[in-house]
Structure 1
Amino acid sequence: MPSQDLRIQPTTDLHGKTALVTGGSRSLGKDIALRLAQAGADVISTYRSQSEAAAEVVDAITRLDRRAVAVQADLEGTGQIAALAEAVVAQLASWGAEGLDILVNNAGVSSHQPFGSITEDEFDRVVNTNFKSVVFLTQALLPTLNDGGRVIAIGSGLGRFTMAGLSVYGSLKAGLEQYMAYLGTELGPRGITANAVSPGALDTDFNAAALEHDPQMRGFIGSVTALGRMGVAEDVGGVVAMLCSPAGRWITGQRIEVSGGMYL
């Protein structure tokens, strides 16, 4: 039988919650940050270089009567993680917040090239940004993360199906998804859920180069997707918000694919 507090609360209510969204200045990260704010959360987002875009996201959130700030951080590896964690703690203190409730590890880079031509430098860049930084940023924020909180990592449909030229990216995303299952096991005693949200191909600037290189890609992806089109960021952000809300309290250690049924 559902607990009394779940019955009387809106299932997507995040009022009083705080969130960190990495890579929150554009594309999927922007939509996630806005969805969390629309549900009531105050949001810290990170950006690597696009300060104007990050400022626009902050402005959009403040117009929702939520608090927001953008912090510059390069997450290609671990060099800036300690400083980012300190900045998050300081910002939470300035808000009078007791800790961080939601961590969304969204920042990432893509790599689309044949396996035979990928270099060690490129391998390191992709793994460090998409996997290593997630592991160590989450570790650094554990003392700040409140019991009963949420940790989300953005995986990929490529953890289930394959496409040529994406061997390293797809493989590490599959590893990241499995890591979240392990994290769910370790954080369960604190009531913290950990899940991977894994989009299919999205029509965002993250994939802009590949879409420009092959103008027929949108049509092809629609043809292998049950719902008949390529996804957009707005198809995914709401799923993240749901997992961070009371409605997602009993979901942990899972890989949740949001792909419109790509390659079913």
Structure 2
Amino acid sequence: MGALTGKVALVTGGSRGIGRATAERLASEGALVAVHHGRNTGAAEETVNAIRAAGGSAFSLRAELGTAGDVETLWAEFDRLVLEHGPGAGLDILVNNAGISPRAEVEETTREAFDELFEVNVRALFFVTQQGLKRLRDGGRIVNVSSATSRIALPDIIAYSMTKGAVDTFTRTLAKTLGERGVTVNAVAPGIIDTDLNAPWLRGNPDAQQYASGFSALGRVGLPDDVADIVAFLASDAARWVTGQVIDATGGSHL
């Protein structure tokens, strides 16, 4: 039996990159995983199929965050599907991973782009969590995916960095709120990770690889599994005494 056998997990943005690696990692420990996606149904089904092929349990659900009725759609789908696939209604692990990260310096950031960033990265995360609390069992786990940009100044993604600062504050405050229920709330803050999002400038470019590797004290670019393993730890009973923390997952970047 895995460390998460009998648990039900929801991973937002679970179809690609860090989200997919996290979904697969939680499933490998025995959790039934709901793989949320916004638009790419094919990628979500690939993730679900990979989990099932490895002997795990998962299902996908769609809700485009940042649009009207997004949170209600997400949880309605979750409630419907979890009864078909799992040990009963309820949630044990919520991983808030979904987000967007357009690049723009302060002078280039439009009001529309700014609003969309906060709609997806902050508002949706807040209300997905709010509505998830009535489903989350006592002793549950919430893990938010933040970013090292909340502590490292990168001018070309200033508005994105602001959203991750909000996630860090939300994490610490919610941990205080939910402590009496035995629910832990933590965040993971990755650095540069080799995902599809970074592929256009990172993969197949030796100069970019060297540049990105130079940020880390360990001398390499991070992989989705590097972050997923930390999330799995925080979701497990081994992390029962860790809450309100933002865990650096950058391989020692900008020390």
Contact kept, 8 Å, 1:77 with 1:132, in 2: the verdict is: no
Residue 78 (structure 2) pairs with residue 88 (structure 1) = yes
> In the TM superposition, what is the alpha-carbon distance from 1:102 to its structure 2 partner?
0.3
Matches within 5 A, 1:224-239: 224-239=215-230
Query: Which of 162, 184, 196 does residue 153 from structure 2 map onto?
Result: 162
- The equivalent residue for 2:183 is 192
1:178 counterpart (137, 144, 169) = 169
Deviations 1:74-133 (A, max 9, x none): 012552111211211222222232410000000111121121010000001111111110
Amino acid at match of 2:29: A
- Percent pairwise identity: 38
Contact 2:6–2:87 under 8 Å retained in 1: no
- The equivalent of 1:79 in structure 2 is 69
Q: Deviations over 1:46-93 (max 9, x none)?
A: 111211111111111112333211111101255211121121122222
**Whole-Å Cα distance in 2 between the matches of residues 203 and 96 of structure 1?**
35
Partner of 1:4: none
Match of 2:109 in 1: 118
In structure 2, the partner of 1:48 is 38
CA distance in 1 between partners of 2:192 and 2:140 (Å): 29
Q: Counterpart of 1:205 in 2: which secondary structure?
A: coil
Partner of 1:16: 6
- What CA distance in whole angstroms lies between the structure 1 residues aligned with 2:232 and 2:82? 20
Question: Secondary structure of 2:252's partner?
Answer: coil
Inter-partner Cα distance in structure 2 for 1:192 and 1:86: 23
* 1:67 and 2:67 are equivalent in the alignment: no
Relative to 1, partners in 2 of residues 1:77 and 1:176: Cα closer, same or farther, differing over 3 Å?
farther
Alpha carbons of structure 1 residues 21 and 78: separation in structure 2 relative to 1, 3 Å: farther
Q: Distance in 2 between matches of 1:175 and 1:77?
A: 20
Distance 1:253 1:237 in 2: 18
Aligned to 1:27: 17
Which stretch of the first structure deviates more once superposed, 24-33 or 199-208? 199-208
Normalised TM-score (structure 1): 0.91
Shift of 1:194: 0.5
Partner SS state of residue 197, structure 2: helix
Match of 2:26 among 36, 53, 72: 36
Q: Which one-letter code corresponds to 1:166 in the other structure?
A: I
Is 1:245 the equivalent of 2:236?
yes
2:47 and 2:21 mapped to 1: Cα distance?
9
- Counterpart residue number, 1:260: 251
State the match for 2:93 in structure 1. Answer: 102
CA gap of 1:104–1:68, structure 2 versus 1, over 3 A, is same
Q: Which amino acid aligns with 2:136?
A: L
Give unpaired runs (5+ residues) of structure 2.
Answer: none
TM-score, with structure 2 as normaliser: 0.94
